[in-house]
Amino acid sequence: MQKIQAAITGVGGYVPDYVLTNAELETMMETTDEWITSRTGIKERRILKGEGKGSSDMAVEAIKNLLSKKGISPKDIELVICATTTPDMQFPATANIICDKAGMTNAWGFDVNAACSGFIFALTTASQFIISGRHKKVIVVGVDKMSSIMNYEDRAVSIIFGDGAGAVLLEPNEEGYGIVDSILKTDGSGRVFLHQKAGGSVKPASIETVMNKEHYVYQEGQAVFKFAVKNMADVAAEIMERNNLTSDSVNWLVPHQANKRIINATADRMKLPTEKVMINIEKFGNTTNGTLPLCMWEWENKLHKGDNIILAAFGGGFTWGATYIKWAYDSIT
C-alpha cells in the first residue's frame, strides 16, 4: 500500500480593501515611491481598517473562501493551525477564535509563532496529523495584521509590511502527491535583529513601553537582509539537492515576499527563470504569515497535478525553511 502523504487540496485567500500606496506613504513620512520600489519591489499593500477587527477576521474570510470553493461544511474540519505573529490577543489562541467565528465547531486548534516562516512550520506540523491517520481534514491558515504593530514614523520598517490571510486544506493522499519533504531551521541568536521589545513576559506593557514605542516591530534591516538572502537561498538549494530536483524539474518557487531582491537571489541560486517564481510583493508587500498561501491562492488556477513546487521562507527568530510539494490537483476555480 502506498504511504499516506498530506496534500493541499484547496486554497483560499483574503486581503482587506484598503490600499496603502507608496504615494500615500510619501505624505506620512520622508520617503519616495522611487526608493521603496527600487529597494523592495513594493508599490502598495493592504490595510485592515475598522474598530475591533483583528487577524481572526481576515483568517475567517480566507477560510470561508476556501470552504465555499471546496463545497465543504465548516463542521467537517477537524483541526485548525493558525500561523500568526499578530494574534487577536496574547491568549486565547487565535485559532480558537477563528474556529468559533467560522462555525468550525468540531475542530480543535492552536497557534504557531515562527514569524515569517510560520506558514511552513505550521504546514509541516499539520501534515503530521494527516500522515499519522489522526485527522482527515486540517486547515492551515497564515494571517497577519502587521499594521497593528507598525510604527508609521519608522520609514525603514513600516514601508514593507501589509495585512492579509491565506488558508489551505490538507487531506490524505495515497497516490504520491502532497508534501514530500521539508527543512525547518531556527537560530534564536538572531532575535536581536528583529523583534517586538515589549508586551511579553520580559517587559510587560506599561506607560513607559507605550511612550517609548516598544510595541512596534523593531528591525535592523541590513542585518536581517544579509541573513535572509543567504539562508533562504541555501535552504531552497538544499531541498532541491536532497530530492534530486533540477531547475528544469521545479515548476514553481513560492518565496516569502519580504523584499524582491531576496526573492531574486533565491531564484538565481535555484537557477529558476522569473516565469517560475510567484511574486505579488508589488501589491501586497510583506504580509508575514500570509505571503506563501496568498501566492498559492493567486496562482492556484495555473497549477497542475504533479507540479513540483518549492516553498521557501525566512523570518524573525531567526526562522527559515523550505518545503517541497508535489501538487495534488488541477485547478478547482
Residue 93 in the binding site for ligand UT7 (CB under 6 A): no
- Selected binder of ligand UT7 within 228, 270, 296, 309 (CB under 6 A): 228
Q: Would you give the DSSP letter of residue 215?
A: T
Question: Is 116 tagged catalytic?
Answer: yes
- Selected binder of ligand UT7 within 102, 159, 233, 294 (CB under 6 A): 159
Find how far residue 101's CA is from the centre of its chain: 21
Site string for ligand UT7, 99-138 (x = CB under 6 A): -----------------x----------------------
* Least Å from the CB of residue 217 to ligand UT7: 9
* Least Å from the CB of residue 144 to ligand UT7: 10
Question: Which of 92-97's residues contact partners 24+ apart within 8 Å by CB, and which partners?
Answer: 94/54, 94/55, 94/56, 94/59, 94/143, 95/141, 97/56
List, as one string, the DSSP characters of 69-100: HHT--GGG--EEEEE-SS-SSSSS-HHHHHHH
- Selected binder of ligand UT7 within 19, 21, 31, 100 (CB under 6 A): 31
| 41 Rama class: left (phi>0) / alpha (psi -120 to 50) / beta | left
Residue tagged 520600489 (cell numbers):
37
Question: Is 286 tagged catalytic?
Answer: yes
Q: Which CB, 184 or 303, lies closer to ligand UT7?
A: 184
Residue 233 in the binding site for ligand UT7 (CB under 6 A): no
Please tell me which residue in 65, 82, 99, 116 is annotated as part of the active site: 116
Element (H, E) at 59: helix 55-70
- Selected binder of ligand UT7 within 47, 169, 258, 310 (CB under 6 A): 258
Please tell me which residue in 286, 289, 295, 308 is annotated as part of the active site: 286
* Least Å from the CB of residue 12 to ligand UT7: 22
- Selected binder of ligand UT7 within 118, 142, 290, 315 (CB under 6 A): 315
Based on its alpha-carbon atoms, the radius of gyration of the chain, rounded to whole angstroms, reads: 19
Tell me how far apart the alpha carbons of residues 163 and 14 are, in angstroms, rounded to a whole number.
9
Tell me how far apart the alpha carbons of residues 183 and 256 are, in angstroms, rounded to a whole number.
15
Tell me how far apart the alpha carbons of residues 211 and 271 are, in angstroms, rounded to a whole number.
48
Question: Is 99 tagged catalytic?
Answer: no
Q: Which CB, 32 or 68, lies closer to ligand UT7?
A: 32
Site string for ligand UT7, 270-309 (x = CB under 6 A): ----------------x-----------------------
Q: Which stretch binds ligand UT7 (CB under 6 A): 83-91, 152-160, 195-203, 243-251?
A: 152-160
Residue 27 in the binding site for ligand UT7 (CB under 6 A): no
Helix (H, G, I), strand (E, B), or coil: what is residue 235? helix
* Least Å from the CB of residue 193 to ligand UT7: 9
Asked if the peptide bond before residue 204 counts as cis, ω within 30 degrees of 0, the response is no
Asked if the peptide bond before residue 318 counts as cis, ω within 30 degrees of 0, the response is yes
Q: Which amino acid is at 98?
A: I
Largest interatomic CA distance in the chain: 62
Count the neighbouring beta carbons within 10 Å of the beta carbon of residue 134. Answer: 11
Q: Which amino acid is at 118?
A: G
Please tell me which residue in 231, 256, 259, 308 is annotated as part of the active site: 256
Q: Which CB, 152 or 299, lies closer to ligand UT7?
A: 152
Where along the sequence are the contacts to ligand UT7 (CB under 6 A)? 31, 35-36, 39-40, 116, 155-156, 159-160, 221-222, 224-225, 228, 258-259, 262, 286, 314-316
By annotation, the residues acting in catalysis are: 116, 256, 286
